[in-house]
Amino acid sequence: MKTFIRIIVCTLVAIIIQQGIFMYVENVYLDTNAEITVEKVDENIEEETIKKEEIQLSANVGDVSLSNDGRYVAYLQDDKLKVLDSNDGTEKEVTTKSNETIAYYEWLTNEDNMIIIKKVKSGRGSYFEPITYYAKKNETRSLTDFDISEIKINITNDEEKVENVIFSTATSSLYIKIKKPSGKSDLYYLNIMNQLELVRKNKDIGDIIVPPTTTKCVMEMGNYATILNSTDNIQIPNVSITRILGTDINDNVYFGEEVDEKITKIYYCVLNDPKSQWNNLTLSKPVNKEDISIDYTGRIFVNDSESKIVNELISGQSVKYEGDYVQIYSKGVISRVGNKLLKNEIKDTRLIKN
């Protein structure tokens, strides 16, 4: 009998709990008259700024270098490195101390950041110091090793100059080429841990590049090109004089065949892929090496300074510009007329993959 009563009591308790849950769901959770408070959340959304097709420079600006998107313009003025934001016209100055000068600066591929090399004079002698600059924040940062020591390259002769700086964002590999008064060069390598190493000393080194996903640079050595620490030169069939032109996001390395100091043909392939085959493009007429530019997507631009036309060889498109050719950027070509920079767009911005 006690067991029967216990069962009835437990059943009644369960029914009461169940009905209570149903009443809560119906009257509270599903109540159509329930008051719902909606608060507006103010998000700081940056509106896309309309980029100007013209960039006005001040009267005494000399040579300029633009970021890949054409937004930021860098130039030396009164021995100070300045950066102009063409979106709003603001000009910022890269801060240096009284014993520091800007020896070299280079925009990183497809970024609004720069590698800057400072020449620093101290009581113990002079040295080159690489730093990074972030244009959007107008900030510089020193490169330090594990001991939090700043990276320094000692200068043995005051006539030494930083001639080239190459950086791979994917592998954080930095190469710095120092040209000596003798014409020979030292090549330094800074790895992802910011460990500095002299990898070539007092050698005849021409242009250098490093493919995005590798750490070994490709160098011009005399009439040939070679990969750092490789025992052999890069062999391109039937090419006697090889010149480095650039690299792209897909690790293609581009070379020019030089004949009578002009580039007549362009070859490219992925050097670290044993299955990669050589591709080639024959130019309609021989051109100077400096008239050829390779962008990070694999577009090949050839500038005809006489007709003021830049041809893009992959798409077959071209753009006519006014004034003097300055450089390529992500949407086309930058030219200069007096103190005004002009953006000349090439509509085809497709990513080239091989």
**What are the backbone dihedrals phi and psi of residue 298, each rounded to the nearest 5 degrees, phi first?**
100, 10
Q: What is the CA radius of gyration of the chain?
A: 30
CA distance readout (Å), 351 to 186, 279, 297, 298, 314: 35, 17, 5, 7, 11
Structure letter (DSSP) for residue 150 = B
**pLDDT confidence tier of residue 346, bands split at 50, 70 and 90:** confident
Terminal-to-terminal C-alpha distance of the chain = 87
Flag whether pLDDT at 176 surpasses 90: yes
Element (H, E) at 233: none
Q: Is the pTM value of this prediction over 0.85?
A: no
Q: Of 147, 152, 161, whose CA–CA distance to 131 is shortest? A: 152
**pLDDT top residue among 85 and 21:** 85
Residue corresponding to tokens 């950027």: 329
Mean pLDDT of 44-69: 75
Q: Report the pLDDT averaged over residues 85-112.
A: 95
Output the pLDDT for position 163.
Answer: 97
- pLDDT tens, 123-160? 889 999 999 999 999 999 998 766 677 899 999 999 99
pLDDT, tens only, 218-228: 999 999 999 99
Asked whether residue 328 carries a pLDDT value surpassing 90, the answer given is: yes
In the chain, % of residues over pLDDT 90: 74
Domain boundaries, the chain: 94-205
Residue with tokens 């950066």: 83
The pair of structure tokens assigned to 36 is: 């719902």
Res. 66: pLDDT tops 70: yes
Helix (H) and strand (E) counts in the chain = 1, 28
